[in-house]
Structure 1
Amino acid sequence: MNDAVLLNISIDSSAEKIWQVLTDVETFNQCFENIKKIVSGSIESGKTVLVESIHHEEIIVDEVNIKSAYINERLSFGLRKQNSEKEIDVTFSLKPSGNFTYLTIEGRNFSDEFNRSQSENNWINMMQLIKKYIQ
């Protein structure tokens, strides 16, 4: 199972503001306060970040291994969900266009269709929350 997910959204904001939501722990935690938060680590190449979320009243901790971070452009990481050996390859890309910035999320290497579908739904929600938080 390796069908990719490719999502795009345009946000009426600068790439810098979106980048801050994605990489600044305090801003990330404010934007996603009701669904997930970074509990340890810093978002830099080679670092590991732990992200906590609540699913059916259970705390889930996922591991995010930062592969590369090109400021205001692209963040690539491996996402290892709790209780999974498989690491999903994820890339967030930012492309400014006038007053807007296009945010693209690309995911690959899912363990199964359920995992792919769940990730896609989570990222759609994430994009909407970023747009709402920034605009």
Structure 2
Amino acid sequence: MPSMLLAASILALGAPPAGQTTSSAPLANVQLADPAQETRAQELMEELRCLTCQSQSIADSNAPMAGDMRHQVRSRIAAGESPEEVRAWLVERYGDYVTYRPGFDWATWPLFALPILFIFVAGAMLARRLGGRGE
């Protein structure tokens, strides 16, 4: 009985956490041979969101989807594509949500315009409040 408990404990410690499995994609967890290409791939993977975890980059996530995306990034970088070309392909495939740096277009303009509008409204309200005190 104690040997079965020991064997089960060893197996449980080696397994990934529940709900997070490793990817079977070949380049998901293997660095590229060219250090410059691997650096470009790593920088891009830090800027891409895991669609499963949503709060982690694909570089940090252990989700199978993130592993598949890491594989795609590395294989495309190794094939000679630039990080921007790979990002554009992923955005086309998964939408703007996949990147932490969305581009400016008709769907994302509120992300850029609303903070400016809020600052303008807050400044106008502040000016109106402070302007009334001088009388």
TM-score, L = length of structure 1: 0.26
- Structure having the larger proportion of residues in helix: 2
Larger gyration radius, structure 1 or structure 2: 2
Q: Relative contact order: is structure 1 or structure 2 higher (C-alpha 8 Å, sep ≥ 6)?
A: 1
